[in-house]
């Protein structure tokens, strides 16, 4: 397998800082939960198996209508899907958000992104399509044995540990290097179970090629919109040489290495980007992918970083030749 599939290397010092910073964040959230006495926080970790069926409802946000927990202690808490979880259905790979080792040292599926679990068939609340609700068996949640996680349109659903209160959306459009493999977290559109991305913003970014090469200014996508630890981050975008008004990057290509830049409406151009160059195509799964002068745009998993993990901006995919074609950055 060629080099684009190699995992991101992270400095040891950066990981130590990350563990401290996010450790304090987890502790602060738990303290807040205790202070609220009997009131549960959307940030609560999972410590026990569920005792009844979960309910999923929909609510209106700036990202459009999205899924939320429909009843119980976490009613109104935002729900998310992780794009790289698609690999489980594609090739039987482990879930990208699991209890496997990660730089934070906390289980993804019970602490960082608590899985929405159910005992019995999940219930469709207002605004939810009951035919899209389902379950998947999980055996990798620490200390819980075999449990059922709620899915929507086949994708597992999770809360986020930085969402304390109903209506918070800190995990929206989060390009997450902590998951294995890297993926993007999205809110979920109840109509078809697709990512509820809101309007994509395309900007410019200046970063070193390969992390140590010359500083280069390229077209980039703004992500991590509401993420308090690293908000409104930009990541380089790429075009693929075989693409011509449609995307040749499907399946594992898009789920793992080169996720498409998605939007729920006409994309917006930031300073230095020509609005007239931006457009959209409809992918086979019905999602809308941003284009630049007609060429579909992609992110690259090795560009993902979070500043508190000790990572920095870098352009790692420029000119890479892959089984899908050659990926190139765009000069604004």
Confidence grade of residue 39 (pLDDT, cut at 50, 70, 90): low
Domain ranges (residues) in the chain:
12-196, 198-328
Q: Count CB neighbours of 272 within 10 A.
A: 13
**94-109 pLDDT, tens digit each:** 899 999 888 889 999 9
Share above pLDDT 90 across residues of the chain, in percent, rounded to a whole number? 80
Distance, CA of 238 to CA of 241 (rounded, Å): 10
Q: Among 147, 174, 171, 142, which Cα is nearest to 159's?
A: 171
pLDDT at 32 over 70: no
**204-217 pLDDT, tens digit each:** 999 999 999 999 99
Average pLDDT of 253-281?
A: 96
Task: Give CA separation, 111 vs 47, 99, 108, 151, in Å.
Answer: 9, 9, 6, 19
pLDDT at 37 over 50: no
Are 243 and 325 contacting, i.e. CB atoms less than 8 angstroms apart?
Answer: yes
Q: Among 206, 224, 199, 223, which Cα is nearest to 290's?
A: 199
Angle value at C-alpha 163, between 136 and 177, nearest 5 degrees: 65
Q: Count CB neighbours of 89 within 10 A.
A: 13
Query: What tokens appear for 294 in the block?
Result: 């007609």
The set of residues, in sequence order, having a beta carbon less than 8 Å from that of 131 and lying 6+ positions away, is: none
Q: Among 170, 150, 153, which Cα is nearest to 162's?
A: 170
Confidence grade of residue 33 (pLDDT, cut at 50, 70, 90): very low
**H or E element in which residue 234 lies:** strand 233-236
Query: What tokens appear for 189 in the block?
Result: 């559109």
Distance, CA of 122 to CA of 35 (rounded, Å): 31
For the ranges 16-20, 101-105, 302-306, which has the lowest average pLDDT?
16-20
Distance, CA of 247 to CA of 254 (rounded, Å): 10
**Cα Dmax for the chain:** 57
Distance, CA of 58 to CA of 1 (rounded, Å): 41
Distance, CA of 164 to CA of 69 (rounded, Å): 13
Helix, strand, or coil (residue 37) = coil
The set of residues, in sequence order, having a beta carbon less than 8 Å from that of 274 and lying 6+ positions away, is: none
How is residue 80 annotated by DSSP? E
Strands of 261-311, DSSP E: 262-263, 268-269, 278-282, 288-292, 295-296
The set of residues, in sequence order, having a beta carbon less than 8 Å from that of 316 and lying 6+ positions away, is: 210, 211, 300, 302, 303
Distance, CA of 315 to CA of 207 (rounded, Å): 6
pTM for the structure as a whole? 0.89
How is residue 12 annotated by DSSP? H
Average pLDDT of 249-270?
A: 95
Cis-peptide into 227, omega within 30 deg: no
How is residue 257 annotated by DSSP? I
């Amino acid at each position: 397998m060629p080099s684009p599939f190699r995992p991101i290397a992270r400095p040891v010092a950066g990981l130590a800082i990350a563990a401290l910073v996010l450790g304090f964040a987890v502790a602060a959230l738990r303290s807040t939960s205790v202070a609220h006495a009997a009131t549960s926080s959307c940030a609560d970790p999972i410590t026990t198996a569920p005792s009844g069926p979960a309910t999923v409802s929909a609510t209106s946000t700036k990202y459009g209508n999205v899924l939320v927990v429909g009843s119980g202690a976490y009613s109104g808490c935002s729900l998310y899907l992780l794009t790289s979880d698609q690999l489980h259905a594609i090739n039987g790979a482990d879930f990208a958000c699991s209890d496997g080792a990660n730089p934070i040292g906390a289980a993804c599926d019970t602490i960082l992104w608590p899985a929405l679990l159910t005992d019995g068939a999940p219930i469709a609340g207002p605004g939810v399509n009951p035919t899209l609700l389902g379950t998947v068996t999980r055996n990798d949640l620490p200390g819980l044995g075999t449990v059922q996680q709620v899915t929507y349109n086949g994708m597992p659903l999770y809360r986020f540990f930085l969402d304390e209160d109903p209506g918070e959306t800190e995990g929206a459009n989060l390009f997450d290097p902590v998951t294995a493999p890297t993926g993007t977290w999205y809110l979920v559109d109840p109509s078809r179970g697709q990512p509820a991305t809101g309007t994509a913003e395309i900007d410019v970014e200046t970063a070193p090629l390969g992390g140590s090469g010359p500083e280069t200014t390229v077209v980039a996508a703004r992500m991590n919109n509401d993420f308090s630890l690293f908000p409104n981050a930009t990541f380089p975008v790429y075009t693929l040489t075989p693409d011509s008004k449609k995307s040749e990057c499907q399946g594992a290509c898009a789920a793992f290495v080169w996720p498409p830049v998605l939007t729920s409406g006409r994309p917006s151009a930031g300073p230095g980007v020509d609005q007239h160059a931006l457009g959209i195509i409809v992918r086979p799964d019905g999602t809308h992918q941003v284009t630049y002068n007609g060429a579909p745009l992609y992110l690259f998993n090795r560009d993902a970083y979070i500043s508190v993990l000790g990572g920095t901006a870098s352009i790692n995919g420029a000119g890479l030749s892959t089984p899908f074609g050659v990926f190139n950055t765009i000069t604004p």
